[in-house]
Amino acid sequence: MFTPLKDLPGGKNLTLDELNERQVQLLIPVIIFISIAVVVGTVGNALVLYVNIFFLKLRNSTHRYFIIFLALADITFCMIVDPFVIGVLIHPYKFTNIIACKSFGAFTYFDAGVSVLVLFLIALDRYRRIFRPYGNQLSIKNINSILEIIVFISFIFSIPSFIIYGKNTVQTGIANITGISCFPDDIYINNMFPFSYNMFLHSVFIILTVSMCLFYILVWRQVRKHTHSTKVLNLSFTNEPLTSNYTAERTII
């Protein structure tokens, strides 16, 4: 939601277009930040796709497929969702395209869901390969089915956002002048459905994030333990010939 404008000189005589322009001026830092994120994110993910598709094409692995799919989801977010957000910020009081609002709102949830689920599967895959090396692992054969399931789950979770988002009346700070923007529809102002939906998604996000952190902590500890054991073993092999030679020399003497 946008903060209503305050302390406007001649505020009562301002039109909605003028109020929209003044609100945009306040949002310029946010618009610049998102614009930079669009450029950096698009270029960065394009490089990831280029390297993994053309330079690492001989290294077929589930990790490579996950990285490519994640980069596709992220570059789509940068090229579609972020520009839409900029469009909403440029028209804080005059965004009247309800269909676009619903569609892009739902796509935002869908794309974010895909990214989070792929990140979780990457962490789970690494954990299982270290702690369950002889168990059933994700393979190239079933990777397409897994990605299809991720897309389907994300799509199902994004459907309520298409219903919720729509025409939202925004207070401009001037009496009797209100704007329209892309937020949860006015019909859901006193409804628990949007709150319950967002709480559910936040809960899922927290559970997945905590699980990923635990997976990587366990993997880090195991790698650290293995590295330490390898150093000790190397030292023992390095010192063993010296001890043997020293014992042999003492015997000869």
> What does the pLDDT look like over 86-109, one tens digit per residue?
999 999 999 989 999 999 999 999
In this structure, are residues 95 and 180 in contact, taking their beta carbons and an 8 Å threshold? yes
Does this model's pTM top 0.75? My answer is yes
Structure confidence at residue 34 (pLDDT): 95
> Distance (Å, rounded) from C-alpha 182 to C-alpha 84?
10
Residue 7: both structure tokens together: 């302390």
> Distance (Å, rounded) from C-alpha 103 to C-alpha 84?
11
Residue 113: both structure tokens together: 């869901």
DSSP notation for 117-158: HHHHHHHHHHHHHHH-TTS----HHHHHHHHHHHHHHHHHHH
Ranges of the chain with pLDDT below 50: 242-244, 246-253
Domains of the chain, by residue range, sit at 11-192
Which of 163, 179, 191 lies closest to 105, judged by CA?
163
State the burial class of residue 69 (Cβ atoms within 10 Å of its Cβ: 0-12, 13-18, 19+). Answer: buried
Structure confidence at residue 251 (pLDDT): 45
Which of 203, 15, 151, 198 lies closest to 93, judged by CA?
15
In this structure, are residues 173 and 6 in contact, taking their beta carbons and an 8 Å threshold? yes
Structure confidence at residue 80 (pLDDT): 92
Structure confidence at residue 134 (pLDDT): 79
Identify the CATH assignment for 11-192 out of 3.40.50.261, 1.20.950.20, 1.20.1070.10, 2.60.120.380: 1.20.1070.10
- SS3 call for 86: helix
Contacts 24+ apart (CB under 8 A), 129-132: 130/219, 130/222, 130/223, 131/218, 131/222
Structure confidence at residue 246 (pLDDT): 45
Contacts of 119 (CB under 8 A, 6+ apart): 70, 208, 212
> Distance (Å, rounded) from C-alpha 118 to C-alpha 147?
8
> Distance (Å, rounded) from C-alpha 184 to C-alpha 1?
10
> What does the pLDDT look like over 34-84, one tens digit per residue?
999 999 999 999 999 999 888 876 567 788 889 999 999 999 999 999 999
- SS3 call for 180: strand
